Structure 1
Amino acid sequence: MNNAEINLEYNLESLLPAVSLEDIHQFEIKTSNYFEQKIKLPDELIQQFLHYHGGIPGKQCFQSLDGKIRMICRFCNIFKPLGDERLPQPPIPSWRPGGASDVRLDYTIGFLLARFDYSDRLYESGGLLVPIAVIDTAGHNAREMSEMNLLCLDYRKPGEPSVVTWSFEMSWHDPEEIVKVADSFGEFLTRLFKHPDDFPITNECEHF
């Protein structure tokens, strides 16, 4: 089994409507235009989008280089941030201040890149950071928080993007503080594991 086929044991009820390869290609074009640099998503992430779009993985934990366990709360999606006809109706109102028209769009990559309190500081953190998941925030489930920490692909260097964590709170004080967790998304997938029984964060909200 290659890294693109790794089973992360997603909660199937958490998945958003499927997208196609053409949808992903159009997303890459729009994101490349946004950054004024070619953005090519890793093949392993493309496979996750095709089969488990925007879902919550069962293998959701990873270990940072300092040994701390972190948790993916939900992968981002590539829907249109201002509204997408593929979302089942009726809309689910966002409870976040400044949130999207539908809470499911709060996790859209395009929405995070356009929302000023994220986009400005992502840019100040060196630019070329593409959010791909929301992660735990100060010991809390990010899907219960107004402000979310992010897992990002880092395109600042040539070649395959590395995977880094970005802190919403710390970016106020130290924009350049991002933490590398893997050299590639494929490598990152191999490091994911189910959270230990004594892990304090649960993941039982917003299954849409």
Structure 2
Amino acid sequence: MTIQYKPNTLAPHFSQAEMDSMERMLSLDLPGFAFDPAYIEHVENFNGGSPLNKYFQTGNGRKLPIDRFLNYSDTKLMTDRSLQGLNANVVWSMIEDRLSLYLLPFAILPDGDFLCFDYEVEGRPSIVLWSHELSEEDEPHTTEVASNFDEFVKGLTDSF
């Protein structure tokens, strides 16, 4: 299954430089860090959109919606301020003190929680739900969602 997007919701101007900047920054603490190849392919083609098949299920059985995927656009070229605030680098810098070293947000939920890649275990990162209300400085609260990005995408549905 692929992710279908609402018309006219993709962020403009995918920037490889923005993605490279995040990779360089994360590599400082995680030597050998690399984005999941399936995610790279996805974000290069569908940068920051709002999905139609937006519902996913957590490991504990909760079904939740995605509001929007974060973008890797050059914020200086964006005219929509709301999309600027959903740039992956901007979001990471706003919440990094409540994330662990291993978490990288890639999508936001309507309630302000984020879907994150979890790089704690070597290999492809797993997908977790990060709770903004339950997380504290250096103490993130996460719930398992999927073993990798491909499994996550396969589990998305368009109905609650």
Shorter-chain TM-score bucket reads: 0.7 to 0.9
Cα distance, 1:25 vs structure 2:
5.8
Q: Say if 1:76 and 1:109, in contact at 8 Å, map to a contact too.
A: yes
Task: Specify the alignment match of 1:61 in structure 2.
Answer: 55
Cα distance, 1:128 vs structure 2:
1.6
Q: State the secondary structure of the residue aligned to 2:24.
A: helix
Q: Give TM-score, length-normalised by structure 1.
A: 0.69
Task: Specify the alignment match of 1:30 in structure 2.
Answer: 24
Task: Specify the alignment match of 1:130 in structure 2.
Answer: 104
Task: Specify the alignment match of 1:108 in structure 2.
Answer: 87
Aligned equivalents of 1:10 and 1:129: distance in 2?
25
Alignment partner of 1:121 is 2:98? yes
Q: Say if 1:163 and 1:181, in contact at 8 Å, map to a contact too.
A: yes
Task: Specify the alignment match of 1:7 in structure 2.
Answer: 2
Q: Percent identity?
A: 25
Query: Which AA in structure 2 matches 1:121?
Result: R
Q: State the secondary structure of the residue aligned to 1:13.
A: coil
Q: Say if 1:18 and 1:50, in contact at 8 Å, map to a contact too.
A: no
Q: Say if 2:56 and 2:64, in contact at 8 Å, map to a contact too.
A: yes
Query: Which AA in structure 2 matches 1:55?
Result: G
Unaligned segments of structure 1, at least 5 residues? 1-5, 93-101, 138-147, 197-208
Kindly tell me: are residues 25 and 169 of structure 1, through their superposed partners in 2, closer, same or farther at Cα, counting changes over 3 Å? closer
Alignment partner of 1:195 is 2:159? yes
Structure with max Cα Rg? 1
RMSD across aligned positions (CA): 2.2
Q: State the secondary structure of the residue aligned to 2:105.
A: strand
Cα distance, 1:167 vs structure 2:
0.5
Query: Map of 1:23-102 to 2, 5 A cutoff?
Result: 23=17, 26-27=20-21, 29-33=23-27, 35-80=29-74, 83-85=75-77, 87=78, 91-92=79-80, 102=81
User: Relative contact order, CA 8 A, sep 6+: which one is greater?
Assistant: 2
Alignment partner of 1:180 is 2:148? no
2:115 to 134, 146, 151: 151
Aligned equivalents of 2:105 and 2:137: distance in 1?
20
Kindly tell me: are residues 112 and 24 of structure 1, through their superposed partners in 2, closer, same or farther at Cα, counting changes over 3 Å? closer
Q: State the secondary structure of the residue aligned to 1:164.
A: strand
Cα distance, 1:17 vs structure 2:
1.4
Kindly tell me: are residues 78 and 25 of structure 1, through their superposed partners in 2, closer, same or farther at Cα, counting changes over 3 Å? closer
Cα distance, 1:28 vs structure 2:
5.0
Kindly tell me: are residues 66 and 174 of structure 1, through their superposed partners in 2, closer, same or farther at Cα, counting changes over 3 Å? farther
